[in-house]
Amino acid sequence: MNNYYTYAYLREDGTPYYIGKGSGNRLHKNDGRPCGKPVDERILILKNNLSEEESFKHEIYMISVFGRKDLGTGILHNRTDGGEGSSGAIRSDDIRKRISDSMKGKPKSKEHIEKVAKSRKGRKHTEDTKRKISKSNKGRILTEETRENMKNSMKKRWESGLFGGTTGLKLKREKPTHTKYFILTDPNGVVYNVKDGLKTFCFSHSISYQTMYYGLHYKNGNATNGWKINYDNSYICR
């Protein structure tokens, strides 16, 4: 029977601190959780009219979205990844894959996107989590397909405003960046106005790009090969 639902307990600022599933009056009972129940005004039903299996899947999904405080991955007080009580703390790869596949391709509502963005605003990883992420990424080789998928995923998140706050607006506003122009002077005093790319110029004149870059950023425009280089601020191109 489709008499199950998922729910969230909200903080005063509107961010969730606990995600659960249940039926009947479960969301109003103050037991069996690692945290207390808020006032009724801060209890939110996320989805209802679900089968028990659907409620398990949605609970797991929402916990993965907001993350757990005890693991340093998010803002929830949940002590498991969801599902059937404490037994849901560890999931087989097959169950994780089926849950992941069931969620792929499902459109997210504007309200859902705004909730996720709000919950992630100001979120910072702990030093332990940073080390774990760094360790997992070392030696990792990305295929072209993976790189393309990551690129498309980030593009969709940016377009949907999932970065949250004013960041999305800032990214959109700053996307058309300034093209960089340079004034270069060779050892004989000949001046060049470079506007087709510094690397291209260096290649065509058989000089080291790295030497010119180092001179520009670390030697006040004086490269070690006798050239001088500075930005040409008289050009602005969008």
Higher-pLDDT residue of 185, 107: 185
pLDDT at 137 over 60: yes
Tens digit of pLDDT for each residue in 23-36? 998 888 877 788 88
Residue 181: pLDDT band with limits 50, 70, 90:
confident
203-213 pLDDT, tens digit per residue, is 888 888 888 88
Greatest CA separation for the chain: 86
Q: What are the contacts of 112-120 at 24+ separation with CB within 8 A?
A: 113/160, 113/161, 113/162, 114/161, 115/16, 116/65, 116/66, 116/162, 116/164, 117/161, 117/162, 117/163, 117/164, 117/165, 118/14, 118/15, 118/164, 119/15, 119/16, 119/65, 119/66, 119/74, 119/75, 120/164
On the question of pLDDT at 83 being above 70, the answer is yes
Of 102-116, 161-175, 187-201, give the range with the top mean pLDDT: 187-201
pLDDT at 116 over 60: yes
Checking if the pLDDT of 8 tops 90, the result is: yes
d(CA 72, CA 76): 10
pLDDT band at 166 (very low <50, low <70, confident <90, very high): very low
The residue ranking higher by pLDDT, 50 or 195, is 50
**Contact assessment for residue 153 and residue 147, using Cβ atoms and an 8 Å cutoff:** no
* Contact present, 226 and 184 (Cβ < 8 Å): no
Model pLDDT, residue 145: 84
Q: Which residue has the tokens 């500075």?
A: 230
Q: What is the pLDDT of residue 163?
A: 52
Average confidence score pLDDT of the chain: 79
pTM for the structure as a whole: 0.38
* Domain boundaries, given as residue ranges, for the chain: 4-120, 182-231
Question: Strand 191-194's sheet: what is its strand order?
Answer: 191-194, 182-185, 228-231
